[in-house]
Amino acid sequence: MTTDTTHTATTAEHAESHGMSNAGYIRIAAILAAITALEVSTVYVDFGPLFLPALLIMMAVKFIMVVSYFMHLKFDNKLFSFMFYAGLILAVGVYAAFLATFHFFIQ
């Protein structure tokens, strides 16, 4: 068995064990780029009181996609996913509590 066939076999095993092809990763990257473009465009559109919740929702969706696919947590033990998602919930909660202390946020 030559090095080329060994590398090809290893790549095929990797794709089978993680369930994503290169095209899948490119699709995920395109979705993340589109969400980022939406985040940037929200600055220029007047959403009023929905501005911050819209940004937080888009941030959470991007976080979940990156953690699930690029960090392979979708294919790992659910304990690891729980740890990352608990960190996300804690971070958003601390951020919301911090913003609630400002008068201009409560309006």
What are 72-86's pLDDT values in tens digits?
777 788 888 888 889
d(CA 92, CA 107): 20
Per-residue confidence band for 90, with pLDDT thresholds at 50, 70 and 90: very high
**72 token code pair:** 């392979």
CB 34 within 8 A of CB 62: no
Query: What's the pLDDT score for residue 10?
Result: 55
Greater model confidence, 10 or 69: 69
What are 22-62's pLDDT values in tens digits?
898 899 999 999 999 999 999 898 888 888 889 989 999 99
